[in-house]
Chain A
Amino acid sequence: MTQTLLSAKNVTRRFGGLVAIDNVSVDLDRGQVHAVIGTNGAGKSTLINVLSGEIPPNEGSIIMNGTDITRWPQPNRARAGLGRSYQRTTIFPTLTVHENCRLSAQAKHQKFWSWATPAKNCRISNEAADRALELTGLAEYADHTAGLLSHGGKRQLEIAMCLATHPTVLLLDEPLAGMGAEETDRMLDLLDSLKKEHAILLVEHDMDAVFRISDLITVMVNGTVIAHGDPEAIRTNHEVQTAYLGEDE
């Protein structure tokens, strides 16, 4: 009884003459980690951008919980439960780590007419922020200025901010990049625990991690899907090996 939370149907996106994603369809189900892997420039980030509403697709449609959201602007999709992280760290560098998360969490409770109450007293947002920091292991850095974190720290914060909005669908663009071995482990455990309640799209180049955690894998090359299946099928797929994985070491 899987429940499809988000699906892309025959999505195409072009940049000028370049077809960044070509007729791609994916389904994200609750309880699954769906990994999208593929060569550099294959269009994985573009896919996430299209799903999250950052850029519109040229063709195809995007359905969330049965609603066609193709024309929705990004903020509306986010409020409907679509959370994303960026491949290139996108945080609020001048705010503290905690504020970064609180601000993200606040998106669900904007109430911008309530000008009398200070934002920092918003209990729900604070709790969401605390929890996100706890989960990503940043709790001890809560009061640090985000821009002064090390690269790895910023990458963790990137995920924490995504979690703070309580999304139901997570679109993670290379969440493990820049993280050390220990943090990687923690993150994988976290994804594992999140997947019961969420649908997760994972774009990642760390193959150990991908094979360890994902339930389904889609492989893209030059904008098109060349393979789709469970990890074992992908691992042994010859085409994938020559195009992406390289011969087993």
Chain B
Amino acid sequence: MHSSIRNFILPLLLFVVTALLPLVTSEYYTALIVKIMIYSLFALSLQLLVGCTGLISLGHAAFFGISAYAVTLLSPQYESGNLLWMLPVSIGIAMVYALITGALSLRTKGVYFIMVTLAFAQMAYYVFHDTKIGGGSDGIYLYVRPEFRIGDWVILNLDNAYVFYMFVLVCLTLTWVFLAMLMRSRFGAALTGILVNEQRMRAAGFSTFGYKLTAYIIASGLGGLAGILYAAKDGYVNPELMNWEQSGLVLLMVILGGMGRLSGAVIGTITLILLQEIFQSQALFGEFAVHWHLTFGLAIIILVALMPKGLIGLPEQLRARRRSSAGSPAAH
């Protein structure tokens, strides 16, 4: 009984509540929730790499940006594009880029991997920044939100704010469910094994390269999905979407939330975005809100100092503290 509440009823409740939120919150907060959901999806996709497989990528924004650009460029200029084919194609483009760059970057390990992924992302960045493909450094507009349609029958029109909200929510939920199932499956177990000790996995008979590459491509595809949603949300894409700072931001979300658990990515995202929101708020901080980087930075430092396992480790940490007041390994 207890576990079924935890595993089924609670998430369902959460879903329903989130789905109903736009009815009570203002337009702005609805948009904020959409933003949080998109970034959560983005962070989840990175969690698959960083927390679940141990592949720390500092170039994940490339896929976010590539798909965002793809959907923008594929859309006809003055009418609504059809996501039914644009969605898979845009994600597919990101995945093809992931296949090529992943096959190359996975030859390296550790910090070297971090830097190679960064390099490939910067290449994508400069392609869009320095050439005219996508409007150069100024970026380009997606004038009309895309929709799902078959023939003339419009299934989902994302121009409607609530439809879009629900669409993002469903994407996020499906991604979560998909990743949760994935991580419990044999494939996921193998990823965990690679995270912990790749050498042993190979000795046992796992071709780890294939696993890592698959994980890399899946993560990129999901990152691309987030990018598409982002482009649809704002109708504007810019090369900065795939800059290393964007990659760094989503990495921070994962680290802050805690690594290895899906909820970590989401909690990290929510926290980071809300903190930014709060410290920037003139209503709360008055004139000092201009210096929000200071308060935000300090908040991050404090969070790290107090929570060695990220935000999701917090309950565990508190329980452990209550249990044994002393007698841990000496901290030298």
On A, residues with C-beta under 8 Å from B are: 52, 54, 73-76, 78-79, 84, 86, 90-95, 102-104, 106-120, 122, 161, 165
Contact = CB atoms under 8 A, between A and B. Distances in A.
A114 B184 CA distance: 11
A177 to B, nearest CB: 18
Given A95-B192, A116-B181, A111 B186 contact: yes
Given A92-B197, A112-B211, A115-B181, A106 B190 contact: yes
A103 B189 contact: yes
Contact of B188 (A52, A75, A93, A119): A119
14 contacts: A54-B199, A75-B204, A76-B205, A78-B203, A86-B200, A90-B200, A103-B189, A103-B190, A107-B204, A109-B186, A112-B187, A119-B189, A165-B204, A165-B205
A84 B200 contact: no
B186 A110 contact: yes
Interface centre among B205, B206, B208, by most chain A C-beta atoms within 10 angstroms, is B205
B77 interface: no
A95 B204 CA distance: 16
Contact of A74 (B203, B211, B214): B203
Contact of B205 (A92, A94, A108, A119): A108
B203 A91 contact: no
B196 A75 contact: no
B181 A52 contact: no
Nearest to A102: B189
Contacts, number: 95
Given A78-B204, A165-B204, A117 B185 contact: yes
B310 interface: no
A103 B190 CA distance: 7
Interface residues of B, number: 25
A93 B204 contact: no
Contacts of A92: 192-193, 196-197, 200
Nearest to B260: A94
B207 A73 contact: yes
A157 B199 CA distance: 16
Interface in B251-277: none
Given A75-B205, A78-B203, A112-B190, 16 more contacts: A75-B208, A78-B205, A93-B197, A94-B196, A103-B192, A103-B193, A103-B201, A106-B189, A110-B190, A115-B182, A116-B185, A117-B186, A119-B185, A119-B186, A119-B189, A161-B200
Contacts of A120: 184, 189
Nearest to B210: A112
Nearest to A95: B196
Contacts of B201: 75, 103, 107
A75 B201 CA distance: 8
A52 B201 CA distance: 13
A36 B6 CA distance: 54
B205 A107 contact: yes
A98 B185 CA distance: 16
Nearest to A108: B205
Interface in B221-245: none
Given A95-B192, A119-B186, A110 B206 contact: yes
B205 to A, nearest CB: 3
A122 B204 contact: no
A75 B204 CA distance: 7
A104 B186 contact: no
B202 interface: yes
B67 to A, nearest CB: 23
Interface centre among A76, A110, A165, by most chain B C-beta atoms within 10 angstroms, is A110
Interface centre among A54, A107, A109, A120, by most chain B C-beta atoms within 10 angstroms, is A107
B202 A74 contact: yes
A6 to B, nearest CB: 15
B169 to A, nearest CB: 23
B208 to A, nearest CB: 7
A113 B188 CA distance: 11
A37 B279 CA distance: 67
B259 to A, nearest CB: 12
B204 A161 contact: yes
Contacts of A111: 186
Contacts of A115: 181-182, 185, 187
A109 B206 CA distance: 10
B63 to A, nearest CB: 21
Contacts of B187: 112-113, 115
A84 B205 contact: no
A73 B209 CA distance: 11
A113 to B, nearest CB: 8
Contacts of A104: 200, 204
A56 B302 CA distance: 49
A107 B201 CA distance: 8
Contacts of B214: 112
A102 B201 CA distance: 12
Contact of B186 (A78, A93, A122): A122
A90 to B, nearest CB: 5
A106 B205 CA distance: 9
A111 B205 CA distance: 13
